[in-house]
Amino acid sequence: MFGMQRGLTDFVQEVTPHEVAHQWWGHIVGWTSYHDQWISEGFSDFSASLFLQYAQGGKIDRYQKFWESQRQAILEKNVFGIRHNDAGPIWMGLRLNSARTPGAYSRVAYNKGSYVLHMLRWMMYDQKTGDQKFIEMMRDFVKGHANENASTESFKAYVDKHMKPAMDLEGNKRMDWFFRQWVYGTEIPRYKMEYWYEPAGGSEVSLNFTITQSDVSPTFKMIVPVYVDFDGNIVRLGDVSISGSGTSQVYKLKLPRKPKRVIINYYNDVLATESLSSAK
Protein backbone atom coordinates (compact mmCIF):
# COMPACT_ATOMS: atom_id res chain seq x y z
CA MET A 1 0.00 0.00 0.00
CA PHE A 2 2.77 2.39 0.94
CA GLY A 3 4.58 1.57 -2.30
CA MET A 4 1.48 2.22 -4.34
CA GLN A 5 0.84 5.58 -2.74
CA ARG A 6 4.41 6.58 -3.35
CA GLY A 7 4.09 5.50 -6.97
CA LEU A 8 0.96 7.56 -7.37
CA THR A 9 2.61 10.65 -5.87
CA ASP A 10 5.54 10.31 -8.27
CA PHE A 11 3.12 9.99 -11.15
CA VAL A 12 1.13 13.08 -10.20
CA GLN A 13 4.27 15.10 -9.57
CA GLU A 14 5.81 14.25 -12.92
CA VAL A 15 2.84 13.90 -15.25
CA THR A 16 1.00 17.04 -14.13
CA PRO A 17 3.91 19.42 -14.81
CA HIS A 18 4.55 17.62 -18.14
CA GLU A 19 0.98 18.34 -19.25
CA VAL A 20 1.07 21.91 -17.91
CA ALA A 21 4.30 22.45 -19.83
CA HIS A 22 2.47 21.65 -23.07
CA GLN A 23 1.00 25.16 -22.75
CA TRP A 24 4.39 26.25 -24.06
CA TRP A 25 5.66 23.15 -25.83
CA GLY A 26 2.94 22.11 -28.21
CA HIS A 27 0.54 25.03 -27.90
CA ILE A 28 2.63 28.23 -28.11
CA VAL A 29 5.43 26.52 -30.02
CA GLY A 30 4.26 23.70 -32.29
CA TRP A 31 6.25 21.19 -34.32
CA THR A 32 6.75 20.99 -38.05
CA SER A 33 6.69 17.24 -38.74
CA TYR A 34 6.96 13.95 -36.87
CA HIS A 35 10.75 14.44 -36.98
CA ASP A 36 10.37 17.44 -34.68
CA GLN A 37 7.76 16.20 -32.23
CA TRP A 38 10.48 15.59 -29.62
CA ILE A 39 10.58 19.37 -29.21
CA SER A 40 7.08 19.22 -27.73
CA GLU A 41 7.37 15.98 -25.73
CA GLY A 42 11.04 16.15 -24.72
CA PHE A 43 10.79 19.80 -23.71
CA SER A 44 7.70 19.05 -21.59
CA ASP A 45 9.52 16.23 -19.80
CA PHE A 46 12.45 18.57 -19.22
CA SER A 47 10.10 21.21 -17.80
CA ALA A 48 8.75 18.62 -15.36
CA SER A 49 12.29 18.19 -14.01
CA LEU A 50 12.56 21.94 -13.36
CA PHE A 51 9.30 21.77 -11.45
CA LEU A 52 10.75 18.97 -9.32
CA GLN A 53 13.96 20.93 -8.72
CA TYR A 54 12.25 24.15 -7.68
CA ALA A 55 9.12 22.82 -6.01
CA GLN A 56 11.18 20.78 -3.58
CA GLY A 57 12.53 23.76 -1.67
CA GLY A 58 15.92 23.58 -3.32
CA LYS A 59 16.40 19.89 -2.54
CA ILE A 60 18.19 18.27 -5.40
CA ASP A 61 17.45 14.60 -4.75
CA ARG A 62 14.07 14.45 -6.50
CA TYR A 63 15.61 16.16 -9.49
CA GLN A 64 18.52 13.74 -9.57
CA LYS A 65 16.20 10.75 -9.24
CA PHE A 66 14.15 12.06 -12.12
CA TRP A 67 17.20 12.17 -14.42
CA GLU A 68 18.42 8.81 -13.23
CA SER A 69 15.05 7.27 -14.14
CA GLN A 70 15.06 9.05 -17.53
CA ARG A 71 18.51 7.60 -18.15
CA GLN A 72 17.39 4.10 -17.24
CA ALA A 73 14.27 4.38 -19.42
CA ILE A 74 16.45 5.21 -22.43
CA LEU A 75 19.00 2.46 -21.81
CA GLU A 76 16.64 -0.30 -20.73
CA LYS A 77 16.37 -3.30 -23.04
CA ASN A 78 13.04 -4.25 -24.55
CA VAL A 79 11.65 -7.82 -24.66
CA PHE A 80 13.88 -8.57 -27.68
CA GLY A 81 16.98 -7.50 -25.78
CA ILE A 82 17.37 -4.26 -27.77
CA ARG A 83 18.07 -1.04 -25.85
CA HIS A 84 15.27 1.46 -26.50
CA ASN A 85 17.97 3.97 -27.42
CA ASP A 86 19.22 1.74 -30.22
CA ALA A 87 15.89 1.77 -32.08
CA GLY A 88 17.14 4.91 -33.81
CA PRO A 89 17.81 8.62 -33.37
CA ILE A 90 15.38 11.11 -31.80
CA TRP A 91 14.79 12.60 -35.23
CA MET A 92 13.06 9.40 -36.46
CA GLY A 93 10.06 10.26 -34.28
CA LEU A 94 7.09 7.91 -34.50
CA ARG A 95 8.94 5.66 -36.95
CA LEU A 96 11.05 4.50 -33.97
CA ASN A 97 8.26 2.11 -33.03
CA SER A 98 8.52 -1.17 -34.90
CA ALA A 99 7.67 -4.82 -34.30
CA ARG A 100 11.15 -5.30 -32.82
CA THR A 101 11.24 -1.97 -31.00
CA PRO A 102 7.80 -1.41 -29.47
CA GLY A 103 7.54 1.62 -27.21
CA ALA A 104 10.82 3.10 -28.46
CA TYR A 105 9.13 6.34 -29.54
CA SER A 106 8.27 7.43 -26.02
CA ARG A 107 11.66 6.39 -24.61
CA VAL A 108 13.57 8.24 -27.30
CA ALA A 109 11.41 11.28 -28.17
CA TYR A 110 10.28 11.96 -24.59
CA ASN A 111 13.06 10.71 -22.34
CA LYS A 112 16.08 11.20 -24.59
CA GLY A 113 14.51 14.34 -26.07
CA SER A 114 14.39 15.82 -22.58
CA TYR A 115 18.02 14.83 -22.06
CA VAL A 116 19.03 16.98 -25.04
CA LEU A 117 17.83 20.08 -23.17
CA HIS A 118 19.21 18.81 -19.88
CA MET A 119 22.68 18.41 -21.40
CA LEU A 120 22.50 21.85 -23.00
CA ARG A 121 21.44 23.35 -19.68
CA TRP A 122 24.44 21.97 -17.82
CA MET A 123 26.87 22.85 -20.58
CA MET A 124 25.56 26.43 -20.51
CA TYR A 125 25.58 26.62 -16.71
CA ASP A 126 27.89 29.23 -15.25
CA GLN A 127 29.26 29.39 -11.73
CA LYS A 128 28.41 33.10 -11.45
CA THR A 129 25.26 33.53 -13.52
CA GLY A 130 23.74 30.07 -13.08
CA ASP A 131 21.17 29.22 -15.75
CA GLN A 132 21.00 32.74 -17.19
CA LYS A 133 22.36 31.84 -20.64
CA PHE A 134 20.11 28.81 -20.96
CA ILE A 135 17.04 30.81 -19.90
CA GLU A 136 17.90 33.53 -22.44
CA MET A 137 18.14 30.91 -25.16
CA MET A 138 14.80 29.32 -24.29
CA ARG A 139 13.03 32.70 -24.10
CA ASP A 140 14.49 33.70 -27.43
CA PHE A 141 13.42 30.37 -28.96
CA VAL A 142 9.83 30.76 -27.70
CA LYS A 143 9.69 34.39 -28.89
CA GLY A 144 10.94 33.40 -32.32
CA HIS A 145 8.35 30.63 -32.68
CA ALA A 146 5.32 32.00 -30.85
CA ASN A 147 2.24 30.45 -32.46
CA GLU A 148 4.44 28.89 -35.10
CA ASN A 149 5.94 25.47 -35.64
CA ALA A 150 9.51 24.76 -34.66
CA SER A 151 11.77 22.23 -36.33
CA THR A 152 14.88 20.49 -35.09
CA GLU A 153 16.99 22.81 -37.25
CA SER A 154 15.14 25.98 -36.23
CA PHE A 155 15.77 25.06 -32.57
CA LYS A 156 19.42 24.34 -33.38
CA ALA A 157 19.78 27.86 -34.81
CA TYR A 158 18.97 29.24 -31.33
CA VAL A 159 21.47 26.92 -29.70
CA ASP A 160 24.11 28.08 -32.21
CA LYS A 161 23.26 31.69 -31.35
CA HIS A 162 23.46 31.28 -27.55
CA MET A 163 26.18 28.65 -27.10
CA LYS A 164 29.11 29.43 -24.81
CA PRO A 165 32.55 29.66 -26.48
CA ALA A 166 33.60 26.54 -24.53
CA MET A 167 30.89 24.57 -26.35
CA ASP A 168 32.45 25.29 -29.73
CA LEU A 169 34.22 21.93 -29.99
CA GLU A 170 34.52 22.09 -33.78
CA GLY A 171 35.67 25.70 -33.93
CA ASN A 172 32.85 26.75 -36.31
CA LYS A 173 30.54 28.48 -33.80
CA ARG A 174 27.94 25.81 -34.44
CA MET A 175 26.52 22.98 -32.39
CA ASP A 176 26.49 20.52 -35.30
CA TRP A 177 28.64 18.08 -33.30
CA PHE A 178 26.11 17.98 -30.49
CA PHE A 179 23.00 17.54 -32.69
CA ARG A 180 24.78 14.98 -34.90
CA GLN A 181 25.46 12.82 -31.85
CA TRP A 182 22.36 13.27 -29.74
CA VAL A 183 19.50 14.11 -32.11
CA TYR A 184 20.60 12.51 -35.39
CA GLY A 185 22.73 9.74 -33.83
CA THR A 186 22.45 6.94 -31.29
CA GLU A 187 25.88 6.66 -29.63
CA ILE A 188 25.97 6.59 -25.82
CA PRO A 189 29.33 7.10 -24.08
CA ARG A 190 30.66 5.52 -20.93
CA TYR A 191 32.91 7.38 -18.45
CA LYS A 192 35.45 6.51 -15.87
CA MET A 193 37.43 8.98 -13.82
CA GLU A 194 40.50 8.17 -11.76
CA TYR A 195 41.88 10.67 -9.30
CA TRP A 196 44.66 10.98 -6.77
CA TYR A 197 46.18 13.66 -4.57
CA GLU A 198 49.60 15.12 -4.03
CA PRO A 199 50.51 17.40 -1.12
CA ALA A 200 50.70 21.06 -2.13
CA GLY A 201 51.85 22.71 1.10
CA GLY A 202 49.86 23.29 4.29
CA SER A 203 46.30 22.00 4.05
CA GLU A 204 46.28 22.49 0.27
CA VAL A 205 46.28 19.52 -2.06
CA SER A 206 46.88 19.02 -5.73
CA LEU A 207 44.09 17.02 -7.31
CA ASN A 208 45.16 14.92 -10.28
CA PHE A 209 42.71 13.14 -12.53
CA THR A 210 42.10 11.50 -15.86
CA ILE A 211 38.79 10.81 -17.58
CA THR A 212 38.26 7.89 -19.93
CA GLN A 213 35.51 8.00 -22.55
CA SER A 214 34.60 4.71 -24.22
CA ASP A 215 32.01 2.91 -26.43
CA VAL A 216 32.09 5.73 -28.98
CA SER A 217 33.46 6.39 -32.47
CA PRO A 218 36.62 8.50 -32.96
CA THR A 219 34.65 11.63 -33.87
CA PHE A 220 32.37 11.56 -30.82
CA LYS A 221 33.01 14.56 -28.54
CA MET A 222 31.59 15.61 -25.26
CA ILE A 223 32.10 18.04 -22.41
CA VAL A 224 32.26 16.29 -19.04
CA PRO A 225 31.83 18.34 -15.87
CA VAL A 226 33.92 17.59 -12.77
CA TYR A 227 32.56 18.24 -9.29
CA VAL A 228 33.99 17.99 -5.80
CA ASP A 229 32.12 17.31 -2.62
CA PHE A 230 33.24 19.49 0.29
CA ASP A 231 31.25 17.92 3.13
CA GLY A 232 27.98 17.88 1.21
CA ASN A 233 28.64 21.16 -0.58
CA ILE A 234 28.95 20.25 -4.27
CA VAL A 235 31.24 22.54 -6.25
CA ARG A 236 31.75 22.38 -10.00
CA LEU A 237 35.48 22.55 -10.63
CA GLY A 238 35.35 22.75 -14.39
CA ASP A 239 34.76 20.84 -17.57
CA VAL A 240 36.88 18.50 -19.62
CA SER A 241 36.24 17.98 -23.31
CA ILE A 242 37.09 14.57 -24.73
CA SER A 243 37.09 13.29 -28.29
CA GLY A 244 36.75 9.63 -29.24
CA SER A 245 37.37 6.58 -27.09
CA GLY A 246 40.41 6.97 -24.86
CA THR A 247 41.85 8.56 -21.76
CA SER A 248 42.46 12.26 -21.30
CA GLN A 249 45.75 13.81 -20.26
CA VAL A 250 46.35 14.17 -16.51
CA TYR A 251 44.65 17.31 -15.21
CA LYS A 252 46.07 18.99 -12.11
CA LEU A 253 44.16 21.40 -9.90
CA LYS A 254 45.13 22.98 -6.59
CA LEU A 255 42.41 22.77 -3.93
CA PRO A 256 42.28 24.53 -0.54
CA ARG A 257 41.75 21.16 1.17
CA LYS A 258 41.05 17.57 0.38
CA PRO A 259 37.40 17.08 -0.67
CA LYS A 260 35.30 14.17 0.48
CA ARG A 261 35.10 12.88 -3.10
CA VAL A 262 35.42 13.88 -6.72
CA ILE A 263 32.49 13.22 -9.03
CA ILE A 264 31.75 13.46 -12.74
CA ASN A 265 28.23 14.01 -14.10
CA TYR A 266 26.83 14.77 -10.65
CA TYR A 267 23.51 15.89 -12.15
CA ASN A 268 23.55 13.15 -14.81
CA ASP A 269 24.82 16.07 -16.90
CA VAL A 270 25.81 13.80 -19.77
CA LEU A 271 23.70 10.84 -20.85
CA ALA A 272 26.04 7.91 -20.27
CA THR A 273 25.90 4.17 -19.78
CA GLU A 274 28.05 4.63 -16.70
CA SER A 275 29.84 7.52 -14.92
CA LEU A 276 32.28 6.09 -12.40
CA SER A 277 34.85 7.94 -10.40
CA SER A 278 37.36 6.24 -8.15
CA ALA A 279 40.32 7.31 -6.06
CA LYS A 280 43.55 5.64 -7.13
Closest-CA residue to 207 (of 220, 216, 198): 198
- Nearer Cβ to Zn ion (26/102): 26
CA distance readout (Å), 95 to 42, 173, 177: 16, 32, 24
Shortest reach from residue 102's CB to Zn ion, in Å:
19
Shortest reach from residue 176's CB to Zn ion, in Å:
28
- Nearer Cβ to Zn ion (44/152): 44
Q: Are 206 and 252 in contact (CB under 8 A)?
A: yes
Report strand pairing: 251-255 vs 205-214: antiparallel
CA distance readout (Å), 193 to 51, 123, 158, 214, 244: 31, 19, 33, 12, 15
* Site map 158..177 versus Zn ion, x via CB under 5 A: --------------------
The alpha-carbon radius of gyration of the chain (Å, integer) is: 19
Shortest reach from residue 46's CB to Zn ion, in Å:
11
Question: Hey, which residues between 131 and 150 contact Zn ion (CB under 5 A)?
Answer: none
- Count of residues binding Zn ion (CB under 5 A)? 2
Shortest reach from residue 27's CB to Zn ion, in Å:
11
| Neighbouring C-beta atoms of residue 171, cutoff 10 Å | 6
Shortest reach from residue 30's CB to Zn ion, in Å:
13
Closest-CA residue to 246 (of 189, 166, 207): 189
Q: Are 48 and 14 in contact (CB under 8 A)?
A: yes
Q: H or E element: which one contains 277?
A: strand 275-279
- Nearer Cβ to Zn ion (51/195): 51
- Nearer Cβ to Zn ion (45/239): 45
Closest-CA residue to 179 (of 156, 145, 162, 158): 156
Shortest reach from residue 87's CB to Zn ion, in Å:
19
- Nearer Cβ to Zn ion (118/221): 118
* Site map 43..82 versus Zn ion, x via CB under 5 A: -x--------------------------------------
* Site map 6..45 versus Zn ion, x via CB under 5 A: -----------------------------------x--x-
The strand pairing partners of 208, in sequence order, are 196, 252
- Nearer Cβ to Zn ion (69/273): 69
Shortest reach from residue 38's CB to Zn ion, in Å:
11
- Nearer Cβ to Zn ion (44/97): 44
Q: Are 274 and 191 in contact (CB under 8 A)?
A: yes
CA–CA gap between residue 275 and residue 123 (Å, rounded): 17
**Residues at the interface with Zn ion (CB under 5 A):** 41, 44
